[in-house]
Structure 1
Amino acid sequence: MMDEELVRRVMAEVMRRIHQTSDETTADNAPAPPRSSVMAIFTGGTIGMEEGLAALKELQEDDCNLTVVLSRAAEKIVTAERVRKHLGDAVTVLTPESPYPGKALRQADLVIVPVLTQNTMAKLAHTLSDTLPTTLIMQSLMLGKPVVAAENAADPRDSWRAGLAMDKAPIVLVRAFQENLRKVRDFGVNLTDVRNLGREARRALERSKATAGEEAAPRAASPAKRNLVDAEKIKAVALSGGRVYSVAPGDLITPLARDTARDYGVEIIRANT
């Protein structure tokens, strides 16, 4: 006859292992938080390049899935080797010789330009899409995706340019560069100092997720029709000379729309119920 104490111990161990397996299965089946997809586009400049790579590393540490695109000049100046040195060998690096990354662009939650050169800025300001970077950036804007770019290499008055004695351009040329910056900003590109690039990228991702959630809310809520006020509606009012945008009591205003209203000086007024 088996000892009762031995039986008790065996049963206790069996139950312990059953519970352990159950806990591990539950943990394995728990849905992982969604990863954000970011497309980073490098043009052929050096001003702010290392800081731009550091910002991408921060996003990678935030569990963002990165796809890095190098222009023809960036292949030589930035190089795929340097990108992988900062971001790891597993990161996807594309060049003009790679197949066009249309699918990666459509899946991207954010497009980030760590180095925006004056040449690329000028092409964008005149809506030219004759290079891989300009094509991707213009398509990003047309798809309504947030685009954040470091303006240091494109700004004729940037302090780094002054340190390199590259700020001696005649005033008429400086004004032309600054006008290009203004146009690109008006197209919807968030231009920022490269030292703030990581922070602005995270803000853009947060706004993008919030907007997606708000856009889904009316479909899951009441059947009553509710208007969604997005950034494009605010911008359309501003470009037509308007300074006030009236919304109905039930209308939803996206965070990006509020930011755009502030940037363009448009006051959002909600009608009384």
Structure 2
Amino acid sequence: MYGARQSTVVKNTLLELLFSENKEVPRVLSLLTYHFTGMEQGWTLLREAGKKRIRMEIVAEGTLLQHITIASLAAECRHDALYPESFLTGDVLRRTDYVLIPVLSFSLVSDLLRFNDQRTLVRFILQALLNGKKVVALSCGANPFHPVFANKNLNLGTDHLNDKLYSQMTQLKKMGIKVEGSDNSVLSWLEEKKKNALITEADVLQALKKGRKFITAEKHEIITPLARDAAKQHKISIARK
């Protein structure tokens, strides 16, 4: 039912051949769930992300498939490297550079804030954050002040309800999730992270400020001399994966 068909497999293989060992293709894992406010912005983000020089794989949550077929899903996001939740293993986590959440549903936000590790997607996201992975989410579905809500007459809730929903996004940010309001912002963030694959002195000082004793560096990230000196001075370990 699932599987990476030939087009995506060929594209991913060619990308890896085009990049040298020191400039690898970033691996982006997209976690896709259903949300009643709409999926359109998520589809757009996935279509645009598929045009970038990244290796992207998409995991569809089981509940999503109650609302859309696999064929329709592949057509909407124009990507065919589609996998079930069982794809989310430790090996997949280790080889993933970035986790992308194209649709922030209310239940996903709530389960993340409650650390509900019984839900597969939530457990994987929490593991990614605890492993120092970069996680970015498109906020449209969870932001009650986004035009999406007004366009679907979902902007008539009480102030308390809207404030509660909005405050949850702030809490997600505090957990380390980058929450962006548009697909362009998400893509720009991914491009910037790919371009600036450095561990700098500022990163070490930021870790010191947060009381962290270690920094995990991706295998393609460059550790600057000043970063090494600062890490040694403040007794902070920098370890590669």
Q: Same fold judged by TM-score > 0.5?
A: yes
Q: How does 1:1-16 map onto structure 2 within 5 Å?
A: none
Paired residues of 1:124 and 1:134 also in contact (CA < 8 A)? yes
Ranges in structure 2 where 5+ consecutive residues have no aligned partner: 1-16, 213-224, 229-241
Greater RCO (Cα-Cα under 8 Å, separation 6 or more): 2
Which of these residues, 54, 62, 65, is aligned with residue 64 of structure 1? Answer: 54
Mapped partners of 1:111, 1:78: distance in 2: 23
Mapped partners of 1:200, 1:142: distance in 2: 20
Q: Does structure 1 residue 202 correspond to structure 2 residue 177?
A: no
Mapped partners of 1:230, 1:80: distance in 2: 46
Per-residue Cα deviation, 1:125-181 (whole angstroms, up to 9, x for no partner): 222222122111111111111111011111122211011111222222222222211
Return the offset for 1:48.
6.0
Paired residues of 2:33 and 2:103 also in contact (CA < 8 A)? yes
Which of these residues, 75, 97, 120, is aligned with residue 132 of structure 1? Answer: 120
Structure 1 residue identity aligned to 2:124: L
Mapped partners of 1:235, 1:48: distance in 2: 37
State, as a whole percentage, how many aligned pairs show the same letter.
Answer: 19
Structure 1 residue identity aligned to 2:90: G
Aligned twin of 1:80: 70
Aligned twin of 1:105: 93
Paired residues of 1:48 and 1:152 also in contact (CA < 8 A)? no
Aligned twin of 1:119: 107
Return the offset for 1:99.
4.4
Structure 2 residue identity aligned to 1:70: A
Segment of structure 1 superposing worse, 50-59 or 150-159: 50-59
Q: How many residues align?
A: 197
Paired residues of 2:44 and 2:183 also in contact (CA < 8 A)? no
Q: Does structure 1 residue 38 correspond to structure 2 residue 28?
A: yes
Mapped partners of 2:19, 2:105: distance in 1: 44
- RMSD (CA atoms): 3.0
Q: Does structure 1 residue 157 correspond to structure 2 residue 132?
A: no
TM-score normalised by length of structure 1? 0.62
Q: Radius of gyration: which is bigger? A: 1
TM-score normalised by length of structure 2? 0.70
Mapped partners of 2:198, 2:38: distance in 1: 30
